[in-house]
Amino acid sequence: MLSETKSRVDQLTSQAGHPITALRFEGDISSASADAVRGSYQSLPKERAKFLLLDFTKVDYINSSGIALVIHVLMEASNSGQAVSIFGLSQHFTKVFTMVGISKYARIFLNETDALAKL
């Protein structure tokens, strides 16, 4: 059985001084996660959230429907002129995200420290 998806928003600052909006996900990401994934993204003030950081550190499982939700968020962000980075993926999901083309829409980092150093 899939565990409920939770999300929260944090405000961070990159090493270069850019304001970063982090969406932190927890649990499993599937079709039942639309509110947690798309809803949390859509609630962000787009004019202030120019740099997004998606945190998958506490995500155990992502199925194909969950990947589709992530892709939808990335496409919306791209259309809004937002730069998106991702970190905290397992080695397996890093490979999957790269195979399905997510790396075209978002930079993938190993951890939060690496991401904040490059943004």
Tell me the per-residue pLDDT of 20-75, one tens digit each, with 9 for 90 and over: 999 999 999 999 999 999 999 999 987 889 999 999 999 999 999 999 999 999 99
Q: Given a cut of 90, is residue 110 above it in pLDDT?
A: yes
pTM (2 decimals)? Answer: 0.96
In this prediction, residue 46 carries a pLDDT of 79
* DSSP element (H, E) containing 24: strand 19-29
- Dist. CA 79–CA 69, nearest whole Å: 15
User: Residue 8: how many CB atoms within 10 A of its CB?
Assistant: 12
User: How far from the centroid of its chain's Cα atoms is residue 25's Cα?
Assistant: 8
Domain 6-118 has CATH 3.40.309.10: no
- So where are the chain's domains? 6-118
Q: How distant, in Å, are the alpha carbons of 65, 68, 113 from that of 75?
A: 15, 10, 25
Q: What is the rounded average pLDDT of the residues 63-92? A: 96
The residue behind tokens 């991702």 is: 86
